[in-house]
Structure 1
Amino acid sequence: MSRVKVALIQMRSGTDPERNLDDAEAMIREAAGQGAKFVLTPETTNLVQKDTQRLFETLKSPVEDPAPIRFARLAEALKIDLLAGSFALLGADGRAVNRSHLFGPDGEVKALYDKIHMFDVEIGGGESWKESANYKPGDRAAIADAAGMKVGLSICYDLRFPYLYRRLAQAGALALTVPSAFTRPTGRAHWEVLLRARAIETGSWVLAPAQGGRHEDGRKTWGHSMVVGPWGEVVGALSGDDPGILYAEIDAEEALEARRRIPALSHDREITGPGKPA
């Protein structure tokens, strides 16, 4: 079996993109120095800003923002696969986009993925979110090679939609990435069980780097970055919300073996009724 060392970067990004990128680069370089060949950062690595006016005053277009170029050069310099879990960028229609970038060891972009499912929720306790008010959702799944296997991309709230991960796995993904900024209430209740469920359902590795702690804009995120194996076992996890690096080794053969043992991905059935609600 050929095992690959991965590193999940846990951050507490703030409102200053340059400082966030400096923090991310320092940890990425540390992880590569420890032998990681695939390094992943969390959702909105470059900016956590919940104030709409300040968000749009800070956002830059994909061609103007320095983050993609900086990460591309970093991946090439370190000769690693590098997933920018997501960058908050200004889209062509004036709305923001929440976009993952997967860079290869040559610095080229292997895949782009815009978060499909918008976090429009009323959590309770006075906490509510309306992501669709500012962000344009994506409409295309993405899969690419990294760490010696096919990897399917997703972001945060996507985690609650099993059909996306099933399609990625059926398309050949043996690892699923879930860069996130989970809220504390939902993280405490659902983070681990959802990650393990997606791994079990698909027989896949699940790699989930997270934002954690109290951010400059007042937002509080759960942290607890996690790697889950294809049989649903927690291979590694950070114990809290402080910035840090989680290391693990993953192997494509373990995912293939899980699928041989329970080949559920090939057992879909056509059903009728009751249909979608009107």
Structure 2
Amino acid sequence: MTRIALLQMQSGTDPEANFAAIAAGAWEAAGEGAETLFTPEMALLLDRDRKRAARTVASPSYGDYPARFAGLAREAKIDIALGSMPTVRPSGKFVNRAAYFAADGCAPVTYDKLHLFDVELATGESWRESNAYEAGERLGLVENSPVGRLGLTICYDIRFPALFEVLGRMRCDAIAIPAAFTVPTGNAHWHVLQRARAIEASAFVFAAAQVGRHEDGRETYGHSLVVDPWGEVLLDMGNERPGLGLCEIDRARIDEVRGQVPSLANRREIPNLSAS
């Protein structure tokens, strides 16, 4: 059995305060015997005021955070899966970047969010992630995490099954889906999408989430989840408050499920049905 931890957060506009919350979670999780800590999307900085966020990211101290996370992982002796942090590209636009910091000091594995959240919700909420962010161009894969081969995704990626099919075919044992889900979409789709992605990939899903009303005025859904390869929810942290959740992972469950429902092995190329 492998113990992992999820940190449900209410991140704000001050990266130092958010880093302190993650550090406290890392030390607490390590003290409870967890081998990996998973944090939400935008764990280090959650600010929809893009001009203010740009000033924060451009500050000299902001660039030090990846090295500080690496140092934290080494000192606390726990792997840290940072759900994401905004990072600037040479173009001047951000990328929404996840990073996996191993306790052994290996170079971090990074992943830039592939799918950008551009939507108009019935509630009147409007999100245009592409106005400030560029999409990533490659997969994120941690080969030897404590939970096995770990695929990295971020939030809105969950709505694109082809990505998870690829991660399933790559025989990922687990997939991280950190998120800052809106409340309307969370109420409608969060649990069913997380369970579907776990079932399709025959893999564990670790979905650390933002929760509650944030400093920038947005409200997020919470319900950080661990889902097993059968689609069973092993941990649901609810939507009331930030906090740390612990879960035991039995990696033997992966082979058991893949043996019962060998959909990855049975997969065939879909024929072109457009022409008769």
Task: Give me the TM-score of the superposition, normalised by structure 1.
Answer: 0.94
1:105–1:62 Cα change, 3 Å: farther
CA contact (8 A) 1:42 1:211 kept: yes
- What residue ranges of structure 2 are gaps of 5+ in the alignment? none
Per-residue deviation, 1:215: 0.5
Q: Is the 8 A contact 2:19 2:44 kept in 1?
A: yes
Q: After the TM superposition, which residues 22-41 of structure 1 pair with which residues of structure 2 at under 5 Å, given as runs? A: 22-41=20-39
Runs of 4+ with deviation above 4 angstroms: 61-64
Q: How many Å separate the matches in 1 of 2:240 and 2:138?
A: 31
Matched, 1:147 2:146: yes
- Where does residue 166 of structure 1 map in the other structure? 165
| SS of structure 2 residue aligned to 1:109 | coil
Aligned residue number for residue 118 of structure 1? 116
Partner of 2:136: 138
Shift of 1:54: 1.0
Number of aligned pairs? 273
Please list the CA deviations of residues 124-159 of structure 1 after superposition, one character each: whole Å capped at 9, or x if unmatched: 121010001101110111111211410000000001
Return the alpha-carbon distance in structure 2 between the equivalents of residues 274 and 62 of structure 1. Answer: 54
Query: 1:260 maps to which residue?
Result: 259
1:178: which partner in 2? 177
Q: Is the 8 A contact 1:7 1:40 kept in 2?
A: yes
**Structure-2 separation of matches of 1:62 and 1:31:** 30
Tell me what 1:83 maps to: 81
Rounded Cα–Cα distance in structure 2 between residues aligned with 1:61 and 1:194: 37
What is the DSSP-based 3-state SS (H/G/I as helix, E as strand, rest coil) of the residue aligned with 1:85?
strand
What is the Cα deviation at residue 261 of structure 1?
A: 0.9
8 Å Cα contact 2:56/2:62 also seen in 1 = no
What is the alpha-carbon distance in structure 2 between the residues aligned to residue 21 and residue 64 of structure 1? 11
Seen in structure 2, the aligned counterparts of structure 1 residues 273 and 139 have a Cα distance that, compared at 3 Å, is farther
The one-letter code of the counterpart of 1:153 is L
Query: Residue 18 of structure 1: CA displacement?
Result: 0.7
Contact 2:100 2:109 in 1 (8 A): yes
Q: Map 1:1-278 to 2 at 5 A.
A: 3-60=1-58, 65-144=63-142, 145-270=144-269, 271-274=271-274
The share of aligned pairs that are identical, in percent, is 46
Instruction: Go from structure 1 to structure 2 and tell me whether the alpha carbon gap of 1:199 and 1:159 turns closer, same or farther (over 3 Å shift).
Output: same
Q: Could you say what the CA RMSD is over the residues aligned between the two structures, in angstroms?
A: 1.6
Cα distance in 2 between the residues matched to 1:106 and 1:221 = 33
> SS at 2:121's partner residue?
strand
Question: Which blocks of at least 5 consecutive residues in structure 1 are unaligned?
Answer: none
Structure 1 counterpart of 2:51, one-letter code: Q
Deviations 1:150-179 (A, max 9, x none): 000000000111111111121121101001
Cα shift at 1:274: 3.3
Q: What is the CA–CA distance in structure 2 between the aligned matches of 1:148 and 1:16, rounded to whole Å?
A: 31
Q: Aligned letter for 1:220?
A: E
- Counterpart contact for 1:222–1:241, Cα < 8 Å: no
- Per-residue CA deviation, residues 168-212 of structure 1 (Å, 9 max, x unaligned), is 121121101001000000011111000000111111100000011
Distance in 1 (alpha carbons) for counterparts of 2:44 and 2:108: 20
- Give the direction of change, closer, same or farther, for the CA distance of 1:110–1:17 in structure 2 (3 Å limit): closer
Give the TM-score normalised by structure 2.
0.95
- SS of 1:246's equivalent in the other structure is strand
Aligned partner letter, 1:65: G
**Letter in structure 1 aligned against 2:151:** G
